Chain A
Amino acid sequence: MNKNEYKLLRKVDENGYFLEDVYTNQIAEDLVDVAIPYGMFKPKWTGSEWIDEEAYKRAELDAVAYIDQRRSEYPPVEDYLDAIVKGDEEQKQAYIDACLAVKAKYPKQNYT
């Protein structure tokens, strides 16, 4: 008696890449009834499972995340220039120490 039930399906393009969720009671070749695992960047449906061909990009992004992290916490460069102008070695060293502390906090990461 039940008609086709509505489900949340995943629409893919002609290459299998995820496009959007679709709530429908229709069946179509480009609609996948398998949930996409969390943590994928560009999910692709192979016909039997979801894979993330761009996982390497995620690793790449993670590897360069330290750049933004460091940038946001470095002390202002004006402090260093001010120390040079004033010949204040203590201020200059404080700036260097602060920079090194940020570098230590956010080390570079290797990826392949």
Chain B
Amino acid sequence: MSSNARLIANTPTSDKLGTFYDNAKRSITGGGTVYYDSSQYLRWTDRFIVIAVGESPDTATTGYFNIECPPNQTNITGIGDTPDTMATTSGILLSDWSSLWYELPMGSSNASVDGNFYIGQYSSINGFEIPPNWVLVAVSNGDSSANGNDAVKLCNGKYIKKDQTLYPDTDWLTPTLIYNWQPYDTTNYGPVRYRRANNTVYLEGLVKGGSNGNIMQLPSGFRPGRRLLLATTMNSNVHSRLDIDKDGFVIAGGQFSNTWFSITSSFNIG
């Protein structure tokens, strides 16, 4: 493709820049929530960021580069004989054995450039040399799901499977407790809180005083895909049921005590 020749011609080749490129490819983090749907469309909600690789007029003029998911109707240039594709509201089609690249806008600011994305299908890029200022955003392993290798490797070091959502980790969050539920003895048993890490939601705490089985509602992004029935403990060391439904309601699912009731649990999302 004509743009490919331009890219190679414009690529600086000094050792200094070579080091910059190497570091840039290893320093990418972020991405927010990443979706790879059942039709193999990939999108991410927050920037991937290339950072801590230096700042100069020839490299990153603000010290970092953002890589934002290109918006709907953005043309993604095909590499070699790979046809161009169009970004949609679902993201970019990344079929089996395809790779998505981003050309770092050397000598520019951090702003993500929608026109700097390229897509390649392995069988269509023979003879094409990937320019050194391109970073690999995502690459698909198209092997059978039976051996577990069928995943997309992301530039932030994570992997995502088809029809999966990867959520970013969070700090501990303090929920709004409903129906008069309140924390029980935070001095000895800690606060009521929850967080998300590695696509797992962790709930912690003891509650008391509720007038209804509904204790709290987890926000979107922290909810399981179906109602979960978990075991828990309540006053007098009685075992009971803790339900977490698909709308995020954390529910004292069976009998409950409002003297104290444990919500400490964890479950997978995404």
- Asked if A10 is at the interface (CB within 8 A of a chain B CB), the reply is yes
Interface hit among A17-25, A80-88, A90-98, A104-112 = A17-25
* Complex contact B209–A35 (CB within 8 A): no
B218 within 8 A of A: yes
A21 touches B183 (CB 8 A): no
Q: How near does chain A come to B51, taking the closest CB pair, in angstroms?
A: 8
**Cβ of B132 < 8 Å from any Cβ of A?**
no
A40 to B88, CA, bound (A): 44
- The answer to whether the Cβ of B46 comes within 8 Å of any Cβ in the partner chain is yes
B221, CB-defined interface residue at 8 Å: yes
A36 within 8 A of B: yes
A35–B176 CB distance below 8 A: yes
Q: Tell me whether A23 and B173 are in contact (CB under 8 A).
A: yes
Interface residue? A61 (CB, 8 A): yes
**Which of A10, A25, A36, A41 contacts B179, CB < 8 Å?**
A41
CB-contact partner of A22 in B170, B174, B182, B219, under 8 A: B219
Residue from B173, B175, B180, B218 whose CB has the most chain A CB atoms within 10 Å: B180
A58 and B180 contact, CB distance less than 8 A = yes
Question: How many residues of B sit at the interface, in one of the four size bands?
Answer: 20 to 34
Give the secondary structure class of B's interface.
loop
User: Interface size bucket, A side?
Assistant: 20 to 34
Q: Which residues of A sit under 8 angstroms from B217, Cβ to Cβ? A: 20-21
Chain A residues, CB < 8 A from B44 = none
Q: Contact between A23 and B222 (Cβ–Cβ < 8 Å)?
A: yes
**Candidates B62, B173, B177, B209; contact of A8 at CB < 8 Å:** B173
* 29 pairs, A vs B, C-beta closer than 8 Å: A1-B62, A1-B64, A1-B110, A3-B46, A6-B170, A8-B173, A8-B174, A8-B175, A8-B219, A10-B176, A18-B176, A20-B217, A20-B248, A21-B216, A21-B217, A21-B218, A23-B170, A23-B173, A23-B220, A25-B46, A35-B174, A35-B176, A38-B177, A38-B182, A38-B183, A39-B182, A39-B209, A41-B179, A58-B211
B: which residues have CB within 8 A of A? 46-47, 62, 64, 110, 170, 173-177, 179-183, 209, 211, 216-222, 248
